[in-house]
């Protein structure tokens, strides 16, 4: 069994004695700051830790410089890089990045994305190091200039790093396909902080039945993972201590043990409500109103009211606000709306009669609409990934299709407005830019609990030179979603510029 108790950190150790993931988790749990220096032969890296979170990583590996990454990604060519480097004191990090932005070779938004990518790549590489020394030094002002907010949580970053290492190293010794696997509650962390993807959550839920790895590998199609991803994920969970091995599988576990495991996972996932929410969402698709409320078609009005008020109490939007996962909150609101719609239909005698008749005939339209919504959601997720990569023109085409399939979804319209604005601004078509901005304004007001609208308007205000309005929008974004790291990054940059301006004024006065 892997211990998940935070280690007491010495000032110096080896990676063999104290693995990197345990060090980072300990710093995260204790909210420590400092400089984590890791050396292995000729390689050396220094991670700036701010209140437990990695915010910068310096490296002496040439292939990890910003310039090398820009060439590899096709952002600039070698002659352009050489020309810009001559004008920089330092060929790495913000000096080069700042010069590229000043020359309009990169947008500030794209530079921020690239710096985050560079930080992740440098950290992920460290997880593959098999040896070396690790030293924790007190942080001194000016020691590291970077302060790069990361769009995923530190535990999620550690999970991704361990999975990266598992894919690039020999980890077979950690895996036993014939022993059962079970989820265990972490002593200091909930499952939510790891920000699991949809396929990863399906694996987490499957662990309720204490499967073997071999059994999980037989269900790759349902899980929607390939074998390498699944094995890397399980290796990472074992190393973090979220999963442990049981006995060699012989017979199916008893019902009582299954309930105990479900209870343990509920505790680990930040509460029974979160687990129940995910379960209801997974099972709600395709249910009719009676199935959604869990009643028979012969249920009396009193029974319907009783069940509805129980569900309303459990899934009311006031409770949904406690969820840190924004996607889960959004889907929870949709679920509550469906429950309310089911109640309003079934409690009314005439509407109930019409609904029963439609069930008998068969609702082909509803089936088609469900298919359209599923397709639009898949397109939306694809477009979001393209937007993160700066591919706004391609994302715009995909979002146009998603909006046609599901025009009532305000989040799709918000992202479509942002993509349209970026495409129009690149061509300086001001009429289309204003129309795209108006689209964001329209849907931002239509659903104020979505932080994306305020963030996009903040970016637009910034591009238009209205920094005061931009700051207000970013603050509003953080009020709605305190975990929006992009808005946090923008506010940090604004604070940094103000501080720089103040220092400049003081120098002039002297």
Neighbours of 145 (CB within 10 A): 12
Alpha-carbon dihedral of residues 493, 451, 123, 159, nearest 10 degrees?
160
The winner for highest mean pLDDT among 118-127, 133-142, 438-447 is: 118-127
Lowest mean pLDDT among 6-20, 61-75, 110-124, 223-237: 6-20
Task: Say if CB 189 and CB 196 are below 8 A apart.
Answer: no
Q: How confident is the model at residue 422, as a pLDDT? A: 92
Q: How confident is the model at residue 285, as a pLDDT? A: 62
Residue 101 has pLDDT above 70, yes or no: yes
Average pLDDT of the chain, as a whole number: 79
**CATH number of domain containing 350:** 1.10.287.110
219 and 130 in a single domain? The answer is no
28 and 92 in a single domain? The answer is yes
Q: How confident is the model at residue 5, as a pLDDT? A: 42
Lowest mean pLDDT among 66-75, 122-131, 176-185, 368-377: 368-377
DSSP string covering 33-91, please? -EEEEEEETTEEEEEEEETTEEEEEEE--GGGSHHHHHHHHTSS-HHHHHHHHTT-S-S
pLDDT band at 10 (very low <50, low <70, confident <90, very high): low
In the chain, how many domains are there?
A: 4
Sign, Cα dihedral of 423, 426, 427, 431: positive
Question: Could you give phi then psi for residue 295, rounded to 5 degrees?
Answer: -130, 165
17 and 39 in a single domain? The answer is yes
Residue 389 CB contacts under 8 Å (≥ 6 apart), including other chains: 113
315 and 433 in a single domain? The answer is no
Q: Does residue 274 belong to any structural domain of this protein?
A: no
Q: How confident is the model at residue 197, as a pLDDT? A: 82
Residue 92 has pLDDT above 50, yes or no: no
Residue 2 has pLDDT above 80, yes or no: no
352 and 391 in a single domain? The answer is no
pLDDT in tens, 480-505: 877 778 888 888 888 888 777 665 54
The span from the CA of 423 to the CA of 123, in Å, is 33
In angstroms, what CA-CA distances link 125 with 20, 66, 119, 120, 161?
A: 11, 15, 10, 9, 8
Q: How confident is the model at residue 509, as a pLDDT? A: 47
Report residue 194 as tokens.
């790891």
- Mean local confidence (pLDDT), 144-168: 80
pLDDT band at 257 (very low <50, low <70, confident <90, very high): very low
In angstroms, what CA-CA distances link 13 with 183, 216, 231, 475?
A: 30, 37, 29, 41
Q: Does residue 394 belong to any structural domain of this protein?
A: yes
Q: Does residue 249 belong to any structural domain of this protein?
A: no
Q: Does residue 148 belong to any structural domain of this protein?
A: no
> Which of 362, 389, 411 lies at the terminal end of a domain, its last residue?
362
> Which of 301, 336, 362 lies at the terminal end of a domain, its last residue?
362
Residue 251 has pLDDT above 70, yes or no: no
**Percent above pLDDT 90 for the chain:** 12
Q: Does residue 255 belong to any structural domain of this protein?
A: no
**CATH number of domain containing 445:** 1.25.40.10
- Mean local confidence (pLDDT), 212-220: 82
3-state class (DSSP) for residue 436: helix
Residue 465 CB contacts under 8 Å (≥ 6 apart), including other chains: none
Report residue 480 as tokens.
């709605």
356 and 436 in a single domain? The answer is no
Report residue 318 as tokens.
């006031």
Q: Does residue 263 belong to any structural domain of this protein?
A: no
The span from the CA of 115 to the CA of 66, in Å, is 8
Lowest mean pLDDT among 281-285, 348-352, 455-459, 466-470: 281-285
Q: How confident is the model at residue 314, as a pLDDT? A: 76
Q: How confident is the model at residue 420, as a pLDDT? A: 94
Q: How confident is the model at residue 400, as a pLDDT? A: 92
pLDDT in tens, 30-66: 888 888 899 988 899 999 888 888 888 888 988 888 8
Task: Say if CB 69 and CB 121 are below 8 A apart.
Answer: yes
Please tell me which residue, 219 or 10, carries the higher pLDDT value: 219
457 and 377 in a single domain? The answer is yes
437 and 462 in a single domain? The answer is yes
Model pTM score: 0.49
Neighbours of 96 (CB within 10 A): 23
Q: How confident is the model at residue 267, as a pLDDT? A: 41
355 and 407 in a single domain? The answer is no
- Mean local confidence (pLDDT), 368-374: 68
Residue 255 has pLDDT above 50, yes or no: no
Q: Does residue 487 belong to any structural domain of this protein?
A: yes
The span from the CA of 112 to the CA of 90, in Å, is 18
> Which of 296, 331, 362 lies at the terminal end of a domain, its last residue?
362
Q: How confident is the model at residue 261, as a pLDDT? A: 43
pLDDT in tens, 260-306: 444 444 443 445 566 666 666 656 666 788 888 888 888 888 888 88
Q: Does residue 259 belong to any structural domain of this protein?
A: no
Going by C-alpha positions, the residue among 434, 443, 431 that lies closest to residue 406 is: 443
Residue range(s) defining the domain that contains residue 114: 12-139
- Mean local confidence (pLDDT), 468-474: 90
Report residue 165 as tokens.
């290492």
Please tell me which residue, 141 or 29, carries the higher pLDDT value: 29
Residue 361 has pLDDT above 90, yes or no: no
Q: How confident is the model at residue 282, as a pLDDT? A: 59
438 and 479 in a single domain? The answer is yes
- Mean local confidence (pLDDT), 336-357: 85
396 and 330 in a single domain? The answer is no
376 and 350 in a single domain? The answer is no
Report residue 250 as tokens.
């012989």
């Amino acid at each position: 069994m892997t211990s998940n108790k935070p280690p007491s950190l010495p000032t110096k150790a080896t990676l063999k004695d104290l693995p990197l993931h345990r060090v980072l988790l300990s710093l995260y749990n204790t909210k420590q700051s400092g400089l984590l220096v890791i050396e292995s032969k000729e390689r050396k890296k220094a991670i700036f830790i701010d209140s437990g979170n990695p915010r910068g990583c310096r490296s002496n590996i040439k292939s990890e410089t910003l310039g090398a990454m820009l060439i590899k990604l096709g952002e600039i060519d070698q002659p352009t890089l050489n020309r810009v480097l001559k004008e920089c004191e330092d060929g790495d990090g913000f000096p080069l990045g700042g010069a590229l932005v000043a020359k309009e070779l990169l947008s500030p938004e794209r530079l921020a994305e690239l710096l985050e990518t560079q930080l992740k790549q440098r950290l992920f590489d460290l997880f593959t190091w098999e040896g070396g020394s690790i030293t924790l030094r007190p942080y001194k002002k000016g020691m590291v200039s970077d302060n790069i907010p990361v769009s995923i949580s530190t535990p999620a970053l550690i999970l991704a790093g361990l999975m990266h290492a598992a894919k690039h190293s020999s980890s077979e010794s950690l895996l036993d396909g014939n022993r059962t696997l079970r989820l265990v509650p972490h002593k200091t962390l909930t499952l939510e902080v790891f920000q699991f993807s949809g396929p990863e959550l399906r694996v987490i839920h499957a662990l309720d039945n204490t499967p073997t790895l071999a059994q999980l590998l037989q269900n790759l199609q349902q899980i929607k993972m390939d074998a390498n991803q699944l094995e890397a994920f399980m290796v990472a969970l074992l190393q973090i201590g979220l999963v442990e091995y049981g006995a060699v599988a012989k017979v199916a576990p008893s019902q009582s043990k299954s309930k105990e495991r479900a209870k343990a996972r509920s505790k680990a996932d930040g509460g029974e409500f979160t687990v129940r929410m995910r379960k209801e969402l997974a099972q709600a698709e395709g249910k009719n109103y009676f199935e959604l409320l869990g009643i028979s078609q012969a249920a009396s009005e009193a029974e319907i009211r009783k069940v509805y008020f129980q569900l309303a109490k459990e899934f009311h939007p006031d409770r949904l606000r406690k969820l840190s996962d924004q996607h889960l909150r959004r889907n929870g609101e949709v679920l509550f709306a469906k429950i309310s719609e089911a109640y309003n239909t079934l409690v009314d005698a005439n509407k109930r009669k019409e609904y029963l008749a439609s069930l008998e005939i068969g609702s082909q339209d509803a089936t088609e609409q469900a298919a359209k919504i599923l397709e639009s959601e898949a397109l939306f997720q694809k477009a979001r990934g393209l937007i993160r990569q700066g591919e706004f023109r391609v994302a715009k085409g995909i979002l146009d299709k998603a909006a046609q399939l599901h025009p009532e979804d305000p989040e799709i319209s918000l992202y479509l407005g942002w993509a349209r604005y970026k495409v129009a601004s690149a061509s300086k078509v001001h009429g289309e830019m204003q129309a795209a901005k108006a689209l964001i304004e329209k849907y931002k007001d239509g659903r104020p609990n979505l932080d994306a609208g305020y963030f996009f308007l903040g970016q637009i205000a910034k591009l238009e030179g209205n920094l005061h309005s931009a700051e207000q929008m970013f603050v509003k974004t953080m009020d709605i979603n305190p975990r929006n790291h992009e808005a946090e990054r923008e506010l940090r940059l604004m604070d940094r510029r103000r501080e720089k301006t103040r220092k400049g004024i003081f120098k002039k006065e002297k």
